Each structure stands twice: as C-alpha cells, then as structure tokens.
Amino acid sequence: MMISCLAMAAVLAGSVTAQAPNDTYESNPSIYYPRPTEGYFPSPRGAGLGNWSAAYDSARAMVQQLNLLEKVNITTGTGWEYGPCVGNTGAVPRMGIPSLCLQDSPLGVRNADYVSAFPAGMTAAMTWDRTLMRLRGEAMGAEHHGKGVHVQLGPVAGPLGRNAAGGRNWEGFSVDPYLTGAAMYETIIGIQSQGVIACAKHFIGNEQEHFRQMGESNGYHTHKNVTDSISANIDDQTMHELYLWPFAEAVRADVGSFMCSYNQVNNSYACQNAHLLNGLLKDELAFQGFVMTDWGAHHSGVESALAGLDMSMPGDQAFGDGLSFWGGNLTEAVMNGSVPIWRMDDMVTRILAAWYFMGQDDDYPETNFNAWTLTTEGYEFPPTKQGWEKVNEHVNVMADHYKVIRQIGAEANVLLKNVNCTLPFNPSKPLAQIGIFGSDAGPGMYGPNACSDRGCDNGTLAMGWGSGSDNFPYLITPLEAIQERAVQDATVVQWVIDDYAYAQINSTIAQVQDAPSGACLVFANADSGEGYISVDGNEGDRNNLTLWHAGDKLIQTVADQCENTIVVIHGVGAVDMESWIEHENVTAVIFAGLPGQESGNSLVDTLWGVINPSGRLPFSIAKNYEDYGTDVMYEPNFPVPQDNFTECNLIDYRRFLTLNVTPRYWFGEGMSYTTFEYSEFNVANILNTTYAPRPATPTLAFLDESIPARSELYMPTSVSSVSGFIYPYLPSPTAQASSNAAWSNSTWNEAAATTSSSAPALNSGEGMNNFSTFPYSEDGGGVGGNPSLYDVLYNVTFTVTNTGPLYGGIVPQVYYTFDNDDQTFLRGFDKIFLEPGESKEVRIHLTRKDVSRYHGGWVQQSGVVSLRNHAGDKSKFTEWITGGPWYDSTERQRPPQQAKDPESTTGISAFLLLPQRGILVPEPACTGSLNADVVVNQYRPPSKQTSPSSPRRLKLHSTLRQPYSDRLTHSPCRTTLSYGDLYAHIIKETIDSSRTDFEEYGMDDTTLQELMSSWQHKLTQQGVAHFPWDPAPAPVPMPQIPQYGGLPQDPMGGHQRQHHMQIKSDPLALPGDPNAGLQLPGGNGNGGGVYIKSDPDAVPGQSVFDSQNPGGVGGVGGAGLAAMRAAQHIQSMSGSRTSTASPGLMLPQHDGPAPLPPTRSVVSIPAAAAASTLRMPQHDGPPADFDHLGIPQPQIIKPPTSTSDDEDAINSDLDDSDDGGVNSDGENADDDENAQTLWCQYEKVQRTKNKWKCVLKDGVVTIDGKEYVFGRGAGEFEW
C-alpha cells in the first residue's frame, strides 16, 4: 500500500508547480519517493481463476512441452518493423504457435486498407449507451480478426482525463472512473467475442504526453532536457478510487492483456513497478492474462521480469537497434538464476492462456496485411530490405459497420443549447437558405489520410492523431451531408470554409439573413494526439482549450450578423466557450466529438431530427480553465519531472461540487428534443452480508524446472541471422570470450545482494520462490477483486415517463454522496428510449464497492443516493443509506483473537505530545504518518505501583487516520454544531466512557472531574471557540498561514548536506559497453539512485536537502520553505530527543470565521533523523552490482542499533523514573502553552516487543496553539 492522498500532498506541497522558470529547475526538491517494495515479490502466478480454467489447462500442457528458447521467443518481440504488424512475437512452428500479431488501434485497424474508421472512445462514451459500446467493440473485433490480428491494442482507460488538455484523452472514454469502467467492460466483451485478444492500456497514470519519454521530449528542443520519464506520484486511495477502477472492470471482463505505460509511477517505471504489476494487477485484481510493455517502455531485464512483466514490445530497446533487454538476455537470466524458471513459465503460460481463451488455436486467420506499406508487395523485413514478397492481401473487412458508426455518431451528439427549439429543422417548413462557415465543415485539401497518423488539422475533424488513429476508407463531411439532405427540401446551401476569409464570410451571412428563413452553421474544432507528433506547437497535449484556426473569432463574427447561429464543435475534449456561448444570436450548440467516417451523416441525423439527441458529456466544460485545478506540466520541474497528484479525487465534477464551482456545462449534461419526468424513486436494501474474507487462490503445481545445457542455447550454424532481428539465443562462446564485454559481465554477482536491499536477493531464494511472504490483499481473491466487492447491496428503482411530443432517449444517472466528506461519485446509469407518453420502471444496482471508499482496503460508508440528470443537478430524488462499520484492513489480515492480549488495553484515555506542524485540509479520509513522544496515563491496579501523576514516556511512530465518527454525520469542518458544543460533546463522551475503567482501577469520580475541569480550562486558554462553560464569547482570530521567503541560511558557513541525483545518461546498452546486455536486478529503473549524504556536523533541524539559495531565489519557496521550517521547529521542540517527522500528518480543516485557501504544506525530514528514517527510492527488483556497472554504490542508511538502555527500558516494562519529565510542581515539563498535544481515547493497544499497534478515537489535537478534532486514528508505534 502506498502513502495516502493528503499525507502525500503534505509531503509534496511546495514542490508542485506546473511550470518552472525557463532558465533553471526547481532546486532542492521535496520529491515523493514510494516506500520500498518489500513483499511484492515473487510475482503472483496465473491460476486459471473464473472463466480461465480450461485455457490454463491447455496453456500449461503446452508450456510443459516447450524448451527455454521457445519460451523466450514467445515473450519477446522480434523488433520494430521485423514483422507485418506493429508488434510481433517469435513463433514456435513445431508446436503450431504462430507469431502473434499485435496491432493498433483502439478505434480500428491502424495502417491498413479496407478497414473502417470508428468513432473515438470518448465519442462512444458520449452516447452513455452500453449496447452501442459493445456493438462498437464487436465491429472493431471483427475487423481485426478479419485482418489476422491476434491482439487489438485497445481499449484505453489511461489517460483517464485528469488534465483537460491531455493529448490522448479522446482515446479513452471519460474523466469519470465508473463511466470509463462500464465502457471498458462493454468494449472488451465486444472485441473478444470475435476471438481477438483485447488490451487494456495504458496502465497507469499516463495522464499527459509531455515528458512521457526522455528522447521524445528532448528531441523537440522546446524546453529543458529531462533525464528520465515523468513520474506520476499517486497515493493509494486516489489510485484505487479513480485510476485503477476502470482497469478493474477490464479484468472483470476477462481482458486478455494489459499494456503498461511509458511514465513512472512514484518514481518507478510502470513496466517494472512491482507494486503495480505484482501487487495491484496480478494479486489484488487477479488478472489472468499477460502484461506487455508499451512500445519503448521497457527499461530493464531481470528487474521487469521479477516485477511482473510478461512480454517485451516491440522487442528492441530503441526502434531498430537490434538490442533487447530480453531475447538472449532473458535466456541468460534464466540460466544464471536471476529469473526463476517458474517465472519464465508463468510469462508464457499467461500469453498462451489468452491465446487459448480466445480460441485462436483453432483455425485463426493468418495475418494478411502489412503495417509498413499499403502496396501489394514489399519487404518482409523493411529495415534490412530483405525478403521481397507479397505482403498485402487487401482483405476488405468493413462489412456494414458504417451503420453502427453512424448511429454512435448521432447518439453521441450532445445538444448543449437550443433556444426556442431552434433544432430540429422542420421538414414541413424547410429553411430557405443555410450558410456553412469554417474549415471544420469541409474536406481536407489532400484527403482524410494526407497526414501520417492524422498528424494535422485540415478539414473536418473526426479523429485525433497518433498511434490511436486509423486510415479513413472515406470521410463524409458535414458540408457533403448537409447538401445531400438540402436537396430534399429545395434549400439553398452556401459555404465559406476558409476560416479567415472574412469578406466572403460577411457577404454570405448577408445573403442568409436576407432570405425568408435561414440558419448559419459555424463549425470549429480542437485537436490533439500522441506526443511523438507536434501540430502547430502542440506536442501531443493541447497548449490550451481554445478553438483552433481562430474558431472563437469565426463564431463571434457570424453571430454578430446572423440571428440564427448554430455552432457545431468537433473536439478531443472540453473547449473554452465563454467568449460566445451567451451571445443572443447563438441559438443552438452541438458538441459532436470525434465521430469517425460517418461524421456528416451522424450530424444531419441530429439536425433534422432523424435521431433525437441523447448524448451526454463525459466531462465537464468549465467557465475558466483554472477551475479544473490540474494542468499539463509543460515545463519540467526537475530533471526527472515530478507530477504530484495532490488533488486526490477532486478532478472535474467532484472538484466543482466540493468547491462549489459551477462549470458552464456539467459532466453528464445534455438536452433532448422531448421532455421526461421521474417518479416513484426508491432505494431498497436487498443484502446485509458483511464483507467476506478473501477466497483462497488455487495452488498450481510447478512445471518441469530443469535447466538445459548451455550448449543447447547457441544459435545453430545453419541459421542465417537477419541483422536487427531479436533472437532468443545466447551468443556463441567465441563471441562471448572475445568481443562482447556485456556478456562477460551479465551473470549475477551474488555478492551484490545485500541484506539492506528491499528486493529479493537472487540465487539465495529470498522472496523469489516463497509465496507465503507476499502481502496478499484482502481485497483480492477473485477476477477483478474480492467477489464480495461486487455483491449487490441496494436496488435503486424509479419510473421514467416521456412527457414530450417526440420519441427519444434519456440517461438517468445515479450518484452516491459519501457522508464523511460529501464527495459525490457516479455509481450507475442507464439509457432509456420511450415513445411519447410511455413510462418504464428502471432498476439500477449498487454494489458494495459502489458504496465504499478505499482506506487501506475498501470500507463501506453511509451516504446519500440521488437520481440526477447530470452531476450538478439538485435532484429532489434522494435517499440516505447506512454504511458498514469502520473496517481496518490491517485487522482483516489477522484471524480474530480468542483471548484478550495481556498487552492490550481498551478505552484508556491518552495524552500525546505531538511535535508536528498541522496541515489544514478539507479532505478527512487520508492517512498520514508522524513520529512523536507520547505520555500515556495508563491506570493500572495498585499491584503495579504506578501513579497517575507519573506518566511513562515512550517513542511513538504512528499512522493517523482521519475521522470516521458514527456520531457525527459530517466531518467536524462541516458539522452544524458550534465549535464549543462540539468540544463539550467530545469531553463528555471521553469522560463518560472512561468512568468504568477508573472505577475498575480504584479511582473515584473526583479524579475524572478534575481532569475534565483541567481539560476545559486548557481549551478556554486556547481561545479557539466559545465554550458552554465560558462566561462570554470571545472573537476567534483569522487563521494565519506562515509565509517564508526562502531557504534557511546555513550557520555553518556553507558546510551543508549534499543532495546527489545520479542519472544514467543513456538507458540503451550498446555492444561493448560494460553496462550493456543483461539488465541486472536492482538496476535503477529510472536511471539512477538518489541518496543523501549525512553530515555529522550539520546543525540539528536543518533540512536534508541542500540549501544554497537563500531568500528563495532559484530554490523552494513558500510552502516548501514551511516544510523545512517545520522540520527545524520539530527538532527544536524535541530537544535532545531525536524525533522524526515522517511526511504526512493530515488534520481536519480548522473552522475559522472564513475558510482557508486551498494551500498545502510540506514536512521535511529533520536532519538528525535522516540517518534513522531515510529510505531509498523504489526500484522494483533486486539490487544491481553497482561496482561492475560503474555506478557508485548508494548509501542505504540503516537505523541505529538498540543500546543497553533500550533493552533495559523494554525489560522494565516501560517503567521510567517517576520524576522524568515532571517539574517541581508535579506538572509535565513539556506541558506548556506551546506543547503539541492530543487528547483522545485508546480503543485498542497491542504490544509486540518494541512495537505497539494502537487504535485511537474521539480526540482533540493541539497544533501550534490551534485545536482540531478527529474521530478515529490507527497506527503502528515504535519505541
């Protein structure tokens, strides 16, 4: 489990900037590095769960018959352009296993002829119609099958759409995880119904194109160079609730393959990130298929294999370089024990299981096209110009798919404005003239396929650019379709499709205005695509949300003169409409998305009412770009760009609802030509079972693990090799000894495996074969997750009636607002078509997962079910439902105890000193970590001879969880109680609940009353509120946020800690380079290690990050500075006691007279604590032999060993001297007005040696003189 959202936000605040100055990077960053990956090894083996049993039986039987070379051949691509498809695996002819053809795209067969150009995924989502989504998948699957494609590289759930300007958002479906999940499920079912393996991509966090690949980014020379791919830094709650959700639905649809993405996630490349692949995907979601790299996203050999990667695509390191991280290197890795043979078998089993699962072993068509040429004949291997032959059969696979394409395009049209029923056009009263304006209405000058991969914006826009594109067989433009329809009505059609020909535009408008009746249709668009193509300076991502080709000016020009101006937008996502949307002459607006080849026909069907528009937006359209809260990082903030997802769940409509921001158009919004009415709304609880434990995973026997002789693994002399082709063979012994230095260094050096490594030590067996040590998730155990997550708990029923004059469709949407933080999520929808006057009962299911939030595990929570027309609809149809109890995932992993632990206590009041600066945040559902000293007033029987006035002091490392109070229906910052009443309520509950314990231990009620009086007195002194016991109210001062102007000066005259970032300059190993060949485990997946050199002479409390720029010049200022000052403050308060401020204590928002601005702060690691707490950045795999790779050995700083004093403290059962920490008056010496304190109750305390596991509840924490309420806390403390 990764760090939680707002805890990470605290760590990252101050280093989060969308843009840095052009002349320098941000210095001394507080970069978030993930926790080490202990336990995410070994990679979970596929077990044939769910529907996969028969396929696994066949695959295992086949793998048993394969030799090592054949296994490696199946897992490694043959190289870029070394096969007919964009990706090709090696074949095993003797066993009838063909070279698998992997081919783009998610909207059709890329780089082929006689294929259809389907609407984009975003456009399919705009229909909100599951049936059409599945039909689209079936049609695409049929075309891929007909071309002999084994794996269609789609559909897309990443990017989800975090950034409105993200270049590839249109390839996916929606910014909402539920809608995207539904579309993924239906599309995959459709594709795989045709026997084609679908591929869910890009897994995961690939939310922008800028800096996704180092070489691509640096090649533009438009910004500072980067040294590695961007890191998407995502907490575990956000990961599960947003970005992982639609991929879970893909797994539930039995998707056969996944593609891992280019970016890093928490500073570990996605394709070698063991937490993602082994932990989330293969364990928690129980994915049964195989994982392939994106093209060029492979960065290591052994490391990626151990982390869960199954297939390298396209096989070579850089396109056409003839080098591979796998191929012969993987063969060598298995031979020397770096990769266990069972892991090799699991890779191949997963690939072949998908092959069998789709029935591709039975008379599947051979690949009959060539992705590198559309001519009939060409080279078999274009890079080497070898094998001239027939490469294209020109098989026509389009069938009648144009019908579903046209229907999707029409039903996807979103009617956003329709003044006085401007639309539809009335055939009985046809318009006299129609004027058409804008290049987006007409054809491109050189045809629809003129630009490679659609990398331009000429003519009407029906598809974005990049590898997610397709060849148009034809493209019906709006101009063409409108003219054809106008013939039936004898309507005059005139047009100007030059966006800048204003004289001609004005003249044409005048003619339309002068006609008896007329309409001016203005067409504009906004384009984007993949990052390897830049169009008009847009490097994949859009530079802004404005319309292209001066579309806003064109609309304004027409609307100023034409009283009936209808605007049609073709776009890749949201666009800025504010300059013209309220113009009185703009009478109708249609957002048409990217409709594919039938674009014009789909639009005409809507304009003339052949199809009543029922499309709904799959995102919101904001009034101001800044309202989205997130943006593309256009300039790198560090050499390894750090993209921190500190907004957590608050993207798009969830952000707007939470911050009370009204967009121009809401997610889910759209109009119809008719009207509808809801009635008889009801929510019925149909199941009351508790969350079931994880089902047991079947254990499959290991296959034959014998290793062949090396002599069997060399390339046969009879084989004439093709230069650049990736083979599975070892190099000949002569080549190894004489010329290939890489091979002489490629064997694993066992001495390099150190006990401090978080990855398994190779050849020792540690972690590689011991599956009992894997931290299996309680939310796993079934395909897509724990089956109990998908239990239907509630049925939502209601009646829909068409109250208008026309047949039409409506999309009722069910939302769930969680009671603890008022965050709202889409949790159900349907598409209902009704005749005028017709009614229909609709039933929508809510599963356990639908009404749960993720807090280290899925936790069912109370909330409100509402039926809405769109996300911002204030529906009168709501019903509150009760969630399950708090269910700590750490508790679920342990069997229930039969007897009470003698070291456990419950219901004991505690007083904690917390030397930790607070963060004021509106989100109460994330976990943070802190270190603190705790003074526990544990009242024991008299035989223990302890005194309540002599508290014992112990070191504490805790994880605080934000409140989930059953007694408060809202978080403290939203309660209707006054602050004073709230505190009084908590004090009374605490005292009342402690009375029994006091009586049990012989304490009378007087002591409790004294404690309560003391507590009340201290609260009054704080002056944070007016309390019931106070004589008169006192004004509450405005909360102040400390401002810091720069980094702290070094009083030691520049003797400072040093922050070194080692970056491998070239990730591609070349022949003869000692770093080439086999990529050893533990090698830095992102090119280098980060270590901090500890300076014993440094001043206590100084930040561990180098401070060379006082005053904030070129350094970390503002909130980043607050972190470093906080570290100093913590250390100074601790005195001689070393305290570690682990990032992330998250506290409820303080309720002052005015809300705080959305400011986040950073908590740095105190200097004196660095030696005991600093952990290395995640590199998913065993450690490399840094010596022989020529890379300095990172310093892994170990915690100090315990002293005899520590042992005495443990052996003495924590009984410190009675006078320790107490002044002459008997009061705690640290208990002054500046103390950081926490009053709460212990619900449970369990001790194991020097570690304590505690559950806290109902407390008030004092941070820098301000008090905050929390309902519950849980954590592990260390003495």
Q: At what angle do helices 53-63 and 341-357 cross, to 10 degrees?
A: 130
Q: CA–CA separation, 1147 vs 1269, rounded Å?
A: 8
Residue for token digits 């999707």?
408
* Rounded-to-integer distance, Cα 295 and Cα 468, Å: 13
Partners of 1261 in beta bridges: 1238, 1268
Among residues 691, 864, 707, 503, which one has the least CA distance to residue 71?
707
Measured distance CA(868)–CA(127) in Å, rounded? 17
| DSSP-based helix, strand, coil % in the chain, nearest 5 | 25, 20, 55
- For tokens 């389907």, the residue is 118
Token pair, residue 427, equals: 């055939």
1062 DSSP assignment: -
Of 277, 3, 236, 280, the closest CA to residue 854 belongs to 236
Task: Burial-class residue 82 by CB neighbours within 10 Å (0-12, 13-18, 19+).
Answer: buried
Count of Cβ atoms closer than 10 Å to residue 358 Cβ: 25
- Measured CA to CA, the distance from residue 1142 to residue 1163 in angstroms comes to 7
294 part of the active site: yes
- Cβ-count burial 877-904 (b if 16+ within 10 Å, e if not): beeebebbebbbbbebeeeeeeeeeeee
Other CB atoms within a 10 A radius of the CB of residue 1021 amount to 10
Distance (Å) of CA 68 to CA 742, 745, 1029:
21, 21, 80
Rg, Å, the chain Cα set: 32
Q: How many residues in total does the chain contain?
A: 1279
- Cis peptide, bond prior to residue 340, ω within 30 of zero: no
Q: Is residue 74 within 8 Å of residue 90, measured between CB atoms?
A: yes
Q: What is the C-alpha separation between 302 and 635, in angstroms, rounded?
A: 33
3-state SS record for 433-460: EEEEECHHHCCCCCCCCCCHHHCCCCCC
* Closest C-alpha among 527, 536, 533 to residue 462: 527
- Chain-centre distance for alpha carbon 603: 34
**Distance separating alpha carbons of residues 139 and 146, to the nearest angstrom:** 11
Phi, psi of 59 (to 5 degrees): -65, -45
What is the SS3 assignment for 69?
A: helix
Per the CB < 8 A criterion, the answer to whether 508 and 428 are in contact is: no
Residue 912 β-bridge partners: 934, 1238
Burial class (CB in 10 A: 0-12, 13-18, 19+), 832: middle
Burial class (CB in 10 A: 0-12, 13-18, 19+), 3: buried
Which residue among the candidates 104, 228, 294, 652 is catalytic per the annotation?
294
CA gap 167, 540 in Å, rounded:
5
Residue with tokens 């001689």: 1136
Q: What's the burial of 47, exposed, middle or buried (CB within 10 Å: 0-12/13-18/19+)?
A: middle
Q: In degrees rounded to 5, what are phi and psi of residue 346?
A: -65, -40
End-to-end CA separation in angstroms for the chain = 23
According to DSSP, the β-strands at 832-834 and 808-810 are antiparallel
Catalogue the active-site residues. Answer: 294
